[in-house]
Structure formats: structure tokens, C-alpha cells
Chains A and B, each alone.
Chain A
Amino acid sequence: MPEKEGMSLIVKEVARLIAPPIFIFGLYLTLTGHLTPGGGFPGGVVFACGFILVVLAYGGKRAFRRLPPEGASKYDSGGALLFLVIGLIGSLVGGHFLYNFIQAALPGTVFHLLSAGTMPLINIAIGMKVAACLFMVVMALTLFRLAGEKGGES
């Protein structure tokens, strides 16, 4: 399906208009996950859907020049490593893996954006991982390039 030109003009135009809000919504879900429904996983899924929409509408060749699927693997691993690093810092500072070291030093208030210590950082890590991983899975399946066999990550 993603051969030369992608889909029709209407689809391309709508995708062009809709994709930026989708990305912003994904970011919003990821960043406010500690206050409202959302968090790294839904945010990452929405973000990946934005990528997939662009690829579907514009066709593989043109879209992959901007976002190569091989690069997604780096973000995938990077997200997971970021998560681990946050956990390790917690264990160095507070003596426990994933210890909320920011929260302990700077207690925030409920309903404020910068309140939950390490939680937003962890959400960003998970969001990165989920977005890259989901994008890779879908692309691997559609392109029959089955390099990305990815496990689930809580």
C-alpha cells in the first residue's frame, strides 16, 4: 500500500491538518499523567498513531525519509534505559529502586503540574518507549520486515 504516492489529496491534506494536534495531544497525555487519566502508555500510543497516520497518508518512501523506522529502535531502548536510570538514581539517593527522590526533597501540592516528583519523568520515559515500540511493530508488520520483535513492558 505505501508504494509511490500515498493516498489521495483529501487524505493527505486532512492528515497534514490533524497530525500536529494528535502529537500535541499525545504529549499532553504523557505530561499530565500524574494528575488526570493518561500517562506514558496512552500518550505513547496516541503519539505512535500520529506517526502511523502520516506514514499511511503520505506513503512509505516520503515519510521514511523524515522518520526512519531504524531510528525508532534507538528511542525504544532509550526510553527503557531512561526508566532504569531514574530507578537507579532513586536507589542511590534513597536506598530503594525507583525511590521518588524528587518528591522527598521538594514535596509538591496536589493538582499542580510539577508535583509528583519522578512520576512525570517516568511517564516521559514510558511514553518514548511505547511510541517507538508501537510504531516499530506496526511498520514491521506492514512492511513484512520482521526485525522488530518487541516484548511488552509494563
Chain B
Amino acid sequence: MLYTLVFALFLIGLYATITKRNLIKIIIGVIIMEQSVNLFLLLVGYRMGGMAPILDKETSLQEFVARAVDPLPQALVITSIVISLGTIALMVAIAIRIYEKYGTYDIAEIRRLRG
């Protein structure tokens, strides 16, 4: 059930990226896509009623293995957040530059490259 929601979010992001004409809205679409993927990764590792995958002195190792959620997807998510940070910073930087050159965020008015 949750997986379909995540997939729907992914498609919403894709739809926004493809159909919107404003540069900023396109960027937001990409962000939605990337975050839906992050949610998906977290869901893959989630376990109902699980505990955070942090070993402390009170929990025994057996209980930890039995109850902790999978920590690997969380490591993946933080890496993919870093990567999307880099991409999005670059996107915004280029969008600002384009605005300086053309004075608009509308891609229909920007199209100088064709065919």
C-alpha cells in the first residue's frame, strides 16, 4: 500500500518535471522525484514496531538483531540526499543564471536551441 503511494509520488514528480513550463517548478518536480526514491529506500528497510538501529548499553545483541530496522537503506538515503543536494544546488545556480540572461523562467520563451 505504502509502496504504491511512494510510486504515485514518483509519478507526480515525473509529471511535474515533464509538463511544467516554469524552471523553478521543474526543479521542484525533480526534488519530489528524488525524495520519493528516498522514501522508498527507507520503506524497504523498515520493520513494523522496529527500533532505531543504534546499539546502546541497555539492549542485548540478540534483541538488537531481532528488532532493529535495516540500517543500510538509511546510509543509502543520506548518500542520495547529499548527491541530490549537489544536483539541486547546480540546478538552482543555472536557473538563476538563465534568469539573468533571459529575464524569464518560462521555458517556452527561452527555447533558443531547437531541432
A interface residues (Cβ-Cβ under 8 A, vs B): 36-37, 41, 110-111, 130, 134, 137, 140-141, 144, 146, 149-154
B interface residues (Cβ-Cβ under 8 A, vs A): 52, 54-55, 57, 78-79, 82-87, 89-90, 92-93, 96-97, 100
CB-based nearest B residue for A42? B78
Q: In the docked arrangement, what's the CA distance between A134 and B55, Å?
A: 30
**Contact for A36 among B54, B96, B97, CB less than 8 A:** B54
Assess whether B78 is in contact with A41, with CB atoms less than 8 Å apart.
yes
Chain B residue numbers with a CB within 8 Å of A146 are 93, 96-97
CB-based nearest A residue for B90? A149
5 closest A-B pairs by beta carbon, nearest first, are A152-B86, A152-B83, A137-B89, A146-B93, A152-B82
Assess whether A140 is in contact with B93, with CB atoms less than 8 Å apart.
yes
A68 to chain B, nearest CB (A): 20
Assess whether B86 is in contact with A111, with CB atoms less than 8 Å apart.
no
Assess whether A111 is in contact with B93, with CB atoms less than 8 Å apart.
no
Q: Which of A37, A111, A137 is the most central at the interface, judged by chain B CB atoms within 10 Å of its CB?
A: A137
- The 26 listed contacts between A and B (C-beta, < 8 Å) are A36-B54, A37-B54, A41-B78, A41-B82, A130-B82, A134-B85, A137-B85, A137-B89, A140-B89, A140-B93, A141-B96, A144-B96, A144-B100, A146-B97, A149-B90, A149-B93, A150-B89, A151-B86, A152-B82, A152-B83, A152-B85, A152-B87, A153-B86, A154-B79, A154-B82, A154-B83
